[in-house]
Amino acid sequence: MMKLYNTLTRKKEDFIPLDEGKVRMYVCGPTVYNYIHIGNARPMIVFDTVRRYMEYRGYEVNFVSNFTDVDDKIIAKAIEEGSSAEEVAQRFIRECKKDMEGMNVMPATTHPLATNEIDGMIDMISQLIEKGYADPAKDGTVYFRTRKFKEYGKLSHKNIDDLQAGHRDIKVTGDLKEDALDFVLWKQKKEGEPYWESPWCDGRPGWHIECSVMSRKYLGDEIDIHAGGEDLIFPHHENEIAQSEAANGVEFSKYWMHNAFLNIDNRKMSKSMGNFFTVREVSEKYELQVLRFFMLSAHYRSPLNFSADLMEAAKSGLERIVTAAEHIRHLLKSADDASATEPEAELLERARTYTEKFEAAMDDDFNTADAVSAVFELVKFCNTHTSQESTGAYLKCLYEQLKTLCDVLGILSEKEEEILDGEIERLIAERQTARKEKNFARADEIRDLLLQKGIILKDTREGVQWKRA
């Protein structure tokens, strides 16, 4: 039986889905105003791995992860650039998807955008007003009346009276609220900001209502798992519960999963400390598969420390796995098609114990650290018990076993195929266009990408020449 730690109950529980054989899972996605940072990458990798293991176990997973594409930070970036909020959001959604592909994060079943779901948000806010859980203020701003929801604080285990006394992080500035704990569902537009018409005022939704509405639309009133970083527990997820359960009249999510923070050299990541890294910056030094492998080296609920030494260790560990897989593929090229011998059949039985260890680790609240250890044991076994005398059937079984476990972790056991000439020419042409348009950042990005693939460019009077390193 698969067990997972439920933030709501603060204990490990047997995973029993609402519908047999199906999982409805919502993961809060990034706010797209810049390149994603490695803190954003942790929940993406962790919950992609949870999804992969669920599918490995035979579940049909409806996996929804949003993009917040309207937000104060997006608007500020647009003003800074002299562009629109939509342009900024769309650009960084594209860049985010590139980074996700590099980390081998599977596309969600649905990636909803907040701006496409405004009608649903207006509908839910209207429901909350009708049920007495929300009220519009004089200026048209709509507030959720937190004290009306009697179970407020059940996820974060915070007492509402203590919040009133000392927790400012929930408070929203403004004199029109009845209670300092009330939070915004719909806010009045400001000059130069994107806005939508509503029955209360021209404006835009509050952040919390967005996820409640997107989850309801694509997964239903009740879901199995809601997940994200532990920084979202309060107030974001707490507010989602209040809105959703007040509007829908049923439990919002059965299980709540949260990954722990990522530190940089044992310090909290922050721009002011100068230890802030984007996934794109990491990709200049390492293949993003290394970043993924590093993220899975610790249990998702344990704080994780990012450092050059630990990334080098992850790189070496990943190379051990890839090298073992390549060695088996090399042996397969000259192996005969004979069935496995009796001693080989016994070895395969022994090898299956590593899959059992892997499954036991993943069944225990997705303990990827122990699952990776089981993969390393299998790698050692493969290196020790394969040779040119091994039969094709035996080698294929071992290879499939190793590849299957790597696939669950999202680790590529095969190196990328060599980049094709046509693709090189296309990228060079795109780089030339970028340079003409003075988009030097994109031009440099393409040069770096080709260099990572072993392609060296040389700008000459006759044009761009290239060669393989």
pLDDT digits (tens, 9 = 90+) for 279-323: 999 999 999 999 999 999 999 999 999 999 999 999 999 999 999
Instruction: Determine whether 176 is exposed, middle or buried from the number of CB atoms within 10 Å of its CB (0-12, 13-18, 19+).
Output: middle
Beta-strand runs (E) in 15-97 = 22-27, 60-65
Residue 435 has a pLDDT of: 86
- For all residues of the chain together, what is the average pLDDT? 92
Each residue of 68-95: pLDDT tens digit?
A: 999 999 999 999 999 999 999 999 999 9
Predicted confidence band of residue 459 (pLDDT cuts 50, 70, 90) = confident
Q: Average pLDDT for residues 56-67, to the nearest whole number?
A: 98
Q: Which residue(s) pair with 229 in the sheet? A: 259
Q: Average pLDDT for residues 166-176, to the nearest whole number?
A: 49
CATH topology of domain 279-409: Isoleucyl-tRNA Synthetase; Domain 1 (1.10.730)
Q: Average pLDDT for residues 199-223, to the nearest whole number?
A: 97
Host H or E run for residue 259: strand 253-259
- Asked whether residue 226 carries a pLDDT value surpassing 50, the answer given is yes
DSSP classification of residue 237 = I
Query: pTM of whole model > 0.85?
Result: yes
CATH topology of domain 3-259: Rossmann fold (3.40.50)
DSSP per position, 190-229: -TTS--B--SS-SEEE-HHHHHHHHHHHHH-SSEEEEEEE
- pLDDT over 70, % of the chain: 95
Residue 171 has a pLDDT of: 42
Residue 265 has a pLDDT of: 86
- Asked whether residue 170 carries a pLDDT value surpassing 50, the answer given is no
- Asked whether residue 7 carries a pLDDT value surpassing 90, the answer given is yes
- Asked whether residue 169 carries a pLDDT value surpassing 50, the answer given is no
Q: Average pLDDT for residues 408-414, to the nearest whole number?
A: 87
Residue 37 one-letter amino acid: H
Q: Looking at per-residue confidence, does 299 or 443 come out higher? A: 299
Predicted confidence band of residue 173 (pLDDT cuts 50, 70, 90) = very low
- Asked whether residue 139 carries a pLDDT value surpassing 90, the answer given is yes
- Asked whether residue 440 carries a pLDDT value surpassing 70, the answer given is yes
Q: Average pLDDT for residues 42-56, to the nearest whole number?
A: 98
- Check whether the bond before 235 is cis (ω within 30° of 0): yes
DSSP per position, 1-34: --EEEETTTTEEEE---SSTTEEEEEE---B-SS
Residue 317 has a pLDDT of: 97
Domain ranges of the chain: 3-259, 279-409, 421-468
Residue 253 has a pLDDT of: 98
Q: Average pLDDT for residues 339-366, to the nearest whole number?
A: 98
- Rounded to an integer, what is the distance from CA 375 to the centroid of its chain? 23
Residue 178 has a pLDDT of: 80
Predicted confidence band of residue 417 (pLDDT cuts 50, 70, 90) = low
Residue 114 corresponds to which tokens in the numbers above? 């907040």
Q: Cβ(310)–Cβ(298) under 8 Å?
A: no
Each residue of 178-190: pLDDT tens digit?
A: 888 999 999 999 9
Distance, CA of 443 to CA of 457 (rounded, Å)? 12
- Asked whether residue 36 carries a pLDDT value surpassing 80, the answer given is yes
- Asked whether residue 380 carries a pLDDT value surpassing 80, the answer given is yes
Predicted confidence band of residue 167 (pLDDT cuts 50, 70, 90) = very low
